[in-house]
Structure 1
Protein backbone atom coordinates (compact mmCIF):
# COMPACT_ATOMS: atom_id res chain seq x y z
CA UNK A 1 0.00 0.00 0.00
CA UNK A 2 1.36 3.42 -0.97
CA UNK A 3 1.56 5.88 1.85
CA UNK A 4 3.38 9.19 2.23
CA UNK A 5 5.25 9.82 5.48
CA UNK A 6 3.04 11.38 8.15
CA UNK A 7 5.44 14.26 8.95
CA UNK A 8 7.49 16.21 6.40
CA UNK A 9 10.98 14.70 6.43
CA UNK A 10 14.27 16.48 5.89
CA UNK A 11 14.26 14.97 2.38
CA UNK A 12 10.82 16.42 1.60
CA UNK A 13 12.12 19.79 2.78
CA UNK A 14 15.17 19.42 0.52
CA UNK A 15 12.93 18.58 -2.47
CA UNK A 16 10.85 21.71 -1.76
CA UNK A 17 14.03 23.85 -1.61
CA UNK A 18 13.57 24.70 2.08
CA UNK A 19 16.87 23.05 3.02
CA UNK A 20 19.96 23.37 0.80
CA UNK A 21 21.86 20.38 -0.53
CA UNK A 22 25.00 19.69 -2.54
CA UNK A 23 23.12 18.60 -5.66
CA UNK A 24 24.53 16.03 -8.07
CA UNK A 25 21.46 15.55 -10.30
CA UNK A 26 17.82 16.60 -10.52
CA UNK A 27 14.94 15.94 -12.86
CA UNK A 28 11.15 15.82 -12.48
CA UNK A 29 11.25 12.39 -10.75
CA UNK A 30 14.26 12.44 -8.46
CA UNK A 31 16.98 14.43 -6.75
CA UNK A 32 20.51 13.22 -6.01
CA UNK A 33 22.82 14.96 -3.56
CA UNK A 34 25.88 14.31 -1.41
CA UNK A 35 25.15 12.88 2.06
CA UNK A 36 26.06 15.33 4.85
CA UNK A 37 27.44 12.46 6.95
CA UNK A 38 29.21 10.30 4.37
CA UNK A 39 30.01 6.65 5.10
CA UNK A 40 32.47 6.46 2.18
CA UNK A 41 34.55 8.92 0.15
CA UNK A 42 31.63 9.08 -2.30
CA UNK A 43 28.21 8.95 -0.64
CA UNK A 44 25.31 10.25 -2.71
CA UNK A 45 21.62 9.89 -1.91
CA UNK A 46 19.03 9.49 -4.67
CA UNK A 47 15.50 10.30 -3.53
CA UNK A 48 12.17 10.36 -5.33
CA UNK A 49 10.38 13.68 -5.33
CA UNK A 50 7.20 11.76 -4.53
CA UNK A 51 7.31 11.11 -0.77
CA UNK A 52 7.16 7.35 -0.27
CA UNK A 53 8.22 6.10 3.16
CA UNK A 54 10.31 3.06 2.15
CA UNK A 55 10.52 0.04 -0.12
CA UNK A 56 8.03 -1.54 2.27
CA UNK A 57 5.44 1.09 1.28
CA UNK A 58 5.48 0.81 -2.50
CA UNK A 59 2.92 -0.64 -4.86
CA UNK A 60 2.56 -1.18 -8.59
CA UNK A 61 2.09 2.53 -9.22
CA UNK A 62 5.72 3.11 -8.20
CA UNK A 63 7.38 0.77 -10.72
CA UNK A 64 8.39 3.47 -13.22
CA UNK A 65 9.74 5.70 -10.44
CA UNK A 66 11.76 2.84 -8.93
CA UNK A 67 13.23 1.93 -12.30
CA UNK A 68 14.16 5.57 -12.85
CA UNK A 69 15.83 5.81 -9.42
CA UNK A 70 17.91 2.69 -10.08
CA UNK A 71 18.90 3.84 -13.56
CA UNK A 72 20.00 7.24 -12.25
CA UNK A 73 21.85 5.61 -9.33
CA UNK A 74 23.74 3.46 -11.84
CA UNK A 75 24.61 6.43 -14.04
CA UNK A 76 25.75 8.57 -11.10
CA UNK A 77 27.67 5.69 -9.54
CA UNK A 78 29.49 4.95 -12.78
CA UNK A 79 30.31 8.63 -13.27
CA UNK A 80 31.63 9.23 -9.74
CA UNK A 81 33.11 5.76 -9.06
CA UNK A 82 34.24 4.19 -12.34
CA UNK A 83 36.09 1.42 -10.45
CA UNK A 84 32.90 0.27 -8.71
CA UNK A 85 30.23 1.32 -6.25
CA UNK A 86 27.46 -0.04 -4.07
CA UNK A 87 23.77 0.95 -4.06
CA UNK A 88 21.87 0.40 -0.81
CA UNK A 89 18.23 0.92 0.15
CA UNK A 90 17.45 0.57 3.86
CA UNK A 91 13.86 -0.13 4.92
CA UNK A 92 12.54 0.25 8.45
CA UNK A 93 14.33 0.58 11.75
CA UNK A 94 15.90 -2.88 11.74
CA UNK A 95 17.05 -2.25 8.17
CA UNK A 96 18.90 0.89 9.24
CA UNK A 97 16.54 3.45 7.71
CA UNK A 98 16.82 6.75 9.59
CA UNK A 99 14.72 9.03 7.34
CA UNK A 100 11.17 7.95 6.50
CA UNK A 101 11.49 8.85 2.81
CA UNK A 102 12.61 6.24 0.28
CA UNK A 103 16.23 6.80 -0.70
CA UNK A 104 19.11 4.99 -2.36
CA UNK A 105 22.68 5.33 -1.10
CA UNK A 106 25.45 5.31 -3.71
CA UNK A 107 28.67 4.41 -1.89
CA UNK A 108 32.11 4.28 -3.45
CA UNK A 109 35.59 5.68 -3.67
CA UNK A 110 37.03 2.73 -1.73
CA UNK A 111 36.68 -1.06 -1.77
CA UNK A 112 33.38 -2.16 -0.22
CA UNK A 113 33.62 -5.04 2.25
CA UNK A 114 31.18 -7.91 2.60
CA UNK A 115 29.08 -8.59 4.52
CA UNK A 116 27.89 -5.03 5.16
CA UNK A 117 26.75 -3.86 8.57
Structure 2
Protein backbone atom coordinates (compact mmCIF):
# COMPACT_ATOMS: atom_id res chain seq x y z
CA UNK A 1 0.00 0.00 0.00
CA UNK A 2 1.29 3.46 -0.82
CA UNK A 3 0.65 6.72 0.99
CA UNK A 4 -1.92 7.59 -1.69
CA UNK A 5 -3.84 4.37 -0.96
CA UNK A 6 -4.55 5.32 2.66
CA UNK A 7 -8.23 6.16 2.90
CA UNK A 8 -8.58 6.73 6.64
CA UNK A 9 -9.53 10.23 7.60
CA UNK A 10 -6.64 12.06 9.26
CA UNK A 11 -7.02 12.95 12.92
CA UNK A 12 -8.21 16.48 13.55
CA UNK A 13 -5.25 18.75 14.23
CA UNK A 14 -5.44 20.65 17.50
CA UNK A 15 -5.00 24.35 16.77
CA UNK A 16 -2.42 24.59 19.56
CA UNK A 17 -0.20 21.66 18.48
CA UNK A 18 3.38 22.86 19.00
CA UNK A 19 4.92 20.32 16.62
CA UNK A 20 2.42 21.11 13.84
CA UNK A 21 3.45 24.76 14.26
CA UNK A 22 7.15 23.82 14.03
CA UNK A 23 6.48 21.75 10.88
CA UNK A 24 4.60 24.72 9.38
CA UNK A 25 7.44 27.11 10.23
CA UNK A 26 5.25 29.12 12.61
CA UNK A 27 7.42 28.33 15.66
CA UNK A 28 11.21 28.42 15.41
CA UNK A 29 13.24 25.27 15.93
CA UNK A 30 16.74 24.14 15.03
CA UNK A 31 15.87 21.91 12.09
CA UNK A 32 18.57 19.33 11.34
CA UNK A 33 16.90 17.31 8.57
CA UNK A 34 13.69 17.11 6.60
CA UNK A 35 12.09 15.05 3.90
CA UNK A 36 8.68 15.05 2.27
CA UNK A 37 7.07 13.18 5.20
CA UNK A 38 8.97 14.12 8.37
CA UNK A 39 11.00 16.83 10.12
CA UNK A 40 13.88 16.44 12.61
CA UNK A 41 14.85 19.18 15.05
CA UNK A 42 16.95 19.53 18.19
CA UNK A 43 15.29 18.92 21.55
CA UNK A 44 15.18 22.08 23.70
CA UNK A 45 16.29 20.08 26.77
CA UNK A 46 18.83 17.59 25.38
CA UNK A 47 19.63 14.47 27.39
CA UNK A 48 22.69 13.48 25.32
CA UNK A 49 25.13 15.14 22.90
CA UNK A 50 22.69 14.29 20.10
CA UNK A 51 19.04 14.59 21.09
CA UNK A 52 16.80 15.24 18.12
CA UNK A 53 13.04 14.88 17.77
CA UNK A 54 11.65 13.39 14.57
CA UNK A 55 8.01 14.15 13.82
CA UNK A 56 5.77 13.28 10.91
CA UNK A 57 4.47 16.27 8.97
CA UNK A 58 0.95 14.82 9.39
CA UNK A 59 -0.57 15.05 12.86
CA UNK A 60 -0.98 11.80 14.79
CA UNK A 61 -1.37 11.81 18.57
CA UNK A 62 0.94 8.94 19.46
CA UNK A 63 2.95 6.07 18.02
CA UNK A 64 0.06 3.57 18.12
CA UNK A 65 -2.25 5.96 16.26
CA UNK A 66 0.44 6.58 13.64
CA UNK A 67 1.18 2.87 13.18
CA UNK A 68 -2.53 2.08 12.76
CA UNK A 69 -3.24 4.96 10.37
CA UNK A 70 -0.12 5.02 8.21
CA UNK A 71 2.58 2.36 8.76
CA UNK A 72 4.59 3.73 5.82
CA UNK A 73 4.74 7.12 7.50
CA UNK A 74 6.06 5.42 10.64
CA UNK A 75 8.74 3.86 8.45
CA UNK A 76 9.58 7.31 7.05
CA UNK A 77 9.98 8.70 10.59
CA UNK A 78 12.34 5.85 11.51
CA UNK A 79 14.29 6.29 8.26
CA UNK A 80 14.79 10.01 8.98
CA UNK A 81 15.90 9.15 12.54
CA UNK A 82 18.45 6.72 11.09
CA UNK A 83 19.70 9.36 8.64
CA UNK A 84 20.14 11.94 11.42
CA UNK A 85 21.99 9.43 13.59
CA UNK A 86 24.21 8.51 10.66
CA UNK A 87 25.11 12.15 10.15
CA UNK A 88 25.52 13.08 13.82
CA UNK A 89 26.27 9.97 15.87
CA UNK A 90 28.10 7.42 13.70
CA UNK A 91 24.79 5.65 13.10
CA UNK A 92 24.45 4.51 16.71
CA UNK A 93 21.35 5.75 18.48
CA UNK A 94 18.42 5.08 20.73
CA UNK A 95 14.94 5.82 19.38
CA UNK A 96 12.27 6.40 22.03
CA UNK A 97 8.57 7.08 21.57
CA UNK A 98 6.66 8.07 24.71
CA UNK A 99 2.95 7.27 24.46
CA UNK A 100 0.66 9.02 26.94
CA UNK A 101 1.27 11.35 29.85
CA UNK A 102 2.23 8.59 32.31
CA UNK A 103 4.96 7.51 29.88
CA UNK A 104 6.34 11.05 29.67
CA UNK A 105 4.62 12.32 26.51
CA UNK A 106 4.07 16.05 26.90
CA UNK A 107 3.34 17.06 23.29
CA UNK A 108 0.58 14.96 21.78
CA UNK A 109 1.93 14.86 18.23
CA UNK A 110 3.88 11.62 17.84
CA UNK A 111 7.62 12.19 18.02
CA UNK A 112 10.64 9.95 18.28
CA UNK A 113 13.55 11.00 20.47
CA UNK A 114 16.78 10.19 18.62
CA UNK A 115 19.46 10.02 21.30
CA UNK A 116 23.16 9.30 20.85
CA UNK A 117 26.62 10.73 20.56
CA UNK A 118 27.97 8.98 23.66
CA UNK A 119 27.91 5.63 25.47
CA UNK A 120 24.35 5.41 26.74
CA UNK A 121 23.39 3.79 30.02
CA UNK A 122 20.04 2.19 30.70
CA UNK A 123 17.49 4.10 32.74
CA UNK A 124 14.03 2.78 31.91
CA UNK A 125 12.11 4.90 34.42
TM-score normalised by length of structure 2: 0.83
Give RMSD over aligned pairs: 1.9
Match of 2:84 in 1: 76
Match of 2:114 in 1: 106
In the alignment, structure 1 residue 50 sits paired with structure 2 residue 58: yes
Instruction: Please list every run of 5 or more consecutive structure 2 residues that lacks an aligned counterpart in the other structure.
Output: 1-7
Instruction: Give the drift of 1:16.
Output: 1.1
The 1:61–1:53 alpha-carbon spacing in structure 2 relative to 1, beyond 3 Å, is closer
Instruction: Report the 3-state secondary structure (helix = DSSP H, G, I; strand = E; otherwise coil) of the residue aligned with 1:70.
Output: helix
The aligned runs of 1:19-30 (5 Å cut-off) are 19-30=27-38
Instruction: Give the drift of 1:5.
Output: 4.8
Partner deviation per Cα, 1:8-57 (whole Å, 9 max, x = no partner)? 31111111111111111112211101111111111001000101000132
Partner deviation per Cα, 1:82-112 (whole Å, 9 max, x = no partner)? 1621111110011111100000111112211
The 1:115–1:39 alpha-carbon spacing in structure 2 relative to 1, beyond 3 Å, is closer
Match of 1:9 in 2: 17
8 A Cα contact 1:5 1:100, kept in partner: no
8 A Cα contact 2:61 2:110, kept in partner: yes
TM-score normalised by length of structure 1: 0.89
Instruction: Please list every run of 5 or more consecutive structure 1 residues that lacks an aligned counterpart in the other structure.
Output: none
8 A Cα contact 1:73 1:106, kept in partner: yes
